[in-house]
């Protein structure tokens, strides 16, 4: 197939729309089910690159959950604790490494992942399809599907779920082009590999970055490579826990991603785990209720006449002091930035969310201030010398 006509472009008024190969070659994808749209394909091709690179860098199955051309979450296939199984809604399920990767990617930021497009680095197995079956999602891209998995996925959304198979051997041309306002831009693709060699320059007093933290820093940097800039990414135990994407200010990226990381951690607090939810509450309602409950707007879900919609009994609010105390227990977090940190305020904010390891480009005229702030908290930082802007 050399081209695929689409229903419309980014918006319904943008007709006609299609994807095709300028070279005249066949497209490297096959649509196995559904009718993917323009934005679906943007998410699919960006997310596929991310999981493919995670697989190469870590040797582990990888998954990503994309929304509007940026990852809401990305992860590799490490086993889940009982607590994570509960907050990711996969208790009692038989989980393969690939299924664990998607459960982590989806669970990183469930609010943002609602209606996601999924990328899987490996052939989709039945276990992963069963995890996907119970989530609100637009589609999935993978290098292949087991027959039972394809049957499960093809039944989603009344048979309209988008299932795309991509040729894992496909490699695009070295030069890529795009048009803006009728003007064509051309550049070399950003196909440089992200490896541990980028973590060798450690100007901080603490130079110890253990193996699991080096893995997490690679995950952060690879995720940033396919995230709309400016971007900052927090990672722990093989998965993103907060992605701050598309902000004009670096500190706002760090705050946004840090707030998401804090939410991820708060969901594991016993007070939140034991909230008395009604048995028939829907997943999206539960996720939104937790998001509000763990914020300063908790009254929006605990007011009389409102809490009855979600809970069997009225829970006590989670105070700001309680939230702060629980967040302080989070440790061992890795953080990546797609460009240099201009000031030490980014480090101050990252420290409050448990960051102990950082990888950033370096090269700011205030590098000394950034290094000094890392030393203040005994944070080990690598300056990679590599910028990862993505637009």
Instruction: List residues with catalytic annotation.
Output: 67-68, 230, 391
First-to-last alpha carbon distance for the chain, in angstroms, is 28
What CA–CA distance (Å, rounded) separates 261 from 358?
A: 15
Task: Please give the backbone phi and psi of residue 164, each rounded to the nearest 5 degrees, phi first.
Answer: -120, 135
351-381 burial, b if ≥16 CB within 10 A, otherwise e? Answer: bbbbbbbbbbbbebeebebbbebbbeeebbb
Helical (H) or strand (E) element with 358: strand 355-360
Whether 67 and 113 have beta carbons less than 8 Å apart is answered as yes
| Radius of gyration of the chain from its Cα atoms, rounded to whole angstroms | 21
Task: Please give the backbone phi and psi of residue 92, each rounded to the nearest 5 degrees, phi first.
Answer: 80, 0
What CA–CA distance (Å, rounded) separates 115 from 139?
A: 9
Bond preceding residue 83 cis, omega within 30 of 0: no
Helical (H) or strand (E) element with 183: strand 183-188
Beta carbons within 8 Å of 4's beta carbon, 6+ residues apart: 18, 19, 20, 27, 31
Q: From residue 332, give the alpha-carbon distance in Å to each of 210, 234, 351.
A: 10, 11, 10
Nearest CA to 62 among 80, 47, 41, 42? 47
What CA–CA distance (Å, rounded) separates 39 from 32?
A: 18
54 three-class SS: helix
DSSP result, 284-303? HHHHHHHHHHTSTTTHHHHS
């Amino acid at each position: 197939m050399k081209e695929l006509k689409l229903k419309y472009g980014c918006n319904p008024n943008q007709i006609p729309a299609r994807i095709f190969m300028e070279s005249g070659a066949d497209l490297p994808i096959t649509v196995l089910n559904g009718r993917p749209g323009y934005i679906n394909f943007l998410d699919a091709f960006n997310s596929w690159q991310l999981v493919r690179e995670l697989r190469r860098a870590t040797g582990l199955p990888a998954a990503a959950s994309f929304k509007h051309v940026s990852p809401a979450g990305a992860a590799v296939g490490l086993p889940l604790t009982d607590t994570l199984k509960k907050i990711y809604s996969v208790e009692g399920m038989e989980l393969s490494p690939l299924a664990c990767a998607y459960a982590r990617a989806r669970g990183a930021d469930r609010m943002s992942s609602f209606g996601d497009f999924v990328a899987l680095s490996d052939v989709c197995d039945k276990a992963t399809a069963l995890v996907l079956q119970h989530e609100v999602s637009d589609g999935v891209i993978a290098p292949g599907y087991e027959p039972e998995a394809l049957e499960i996925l093809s039944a989603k959304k009344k048979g309209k779920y988008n299932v795309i198979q991509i040729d894992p051997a496909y490699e695009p041309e070295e030069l890529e082009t795009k048009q803006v306002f009728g003007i064509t831009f051309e550049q070399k693709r950003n196909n440089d590999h992200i490896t541990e060699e980028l973590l060798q320059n450690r100007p901080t007093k603490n130079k110890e970055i253990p193996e699991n933290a080096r893995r997490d820093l690679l995950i952060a940097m690879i995720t940033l490579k396919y995230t709309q800039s400016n971007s900052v990414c927090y990672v722990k135990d093989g998965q993103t826990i907060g992605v701050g994407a598309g902000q004009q200010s670096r500190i706002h990226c760090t705050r946004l991603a840090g707030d998401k990381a804090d939410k991820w951690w708060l969901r594991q607090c016993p007070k939140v785990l034991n909230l008395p939810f009604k048995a028939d509450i829907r997943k999206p309602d539960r996720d939104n209720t937790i998001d509000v409950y763990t914020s300063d707007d908790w009254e929006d879900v605990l007011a009389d006449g409102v809490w009855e919609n979600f809970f069997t009994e009225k829970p006590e609010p989670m105070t700001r002091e309680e939230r702060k105390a629980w967040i302080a227990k989070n440790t061992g977090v890795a953080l990546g930035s797609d460009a240099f940190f201009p000031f030490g305020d980014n480090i101050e904010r990252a420290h409050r969310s448990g960051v102990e390891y950082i990888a950033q480009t370096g090269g700011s005229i205030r590098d000394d201030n950034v290094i000094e702030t890392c030393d203040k908290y005994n944070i080990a930082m690598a300056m990679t010398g590599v910028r990862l802007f993505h637009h």
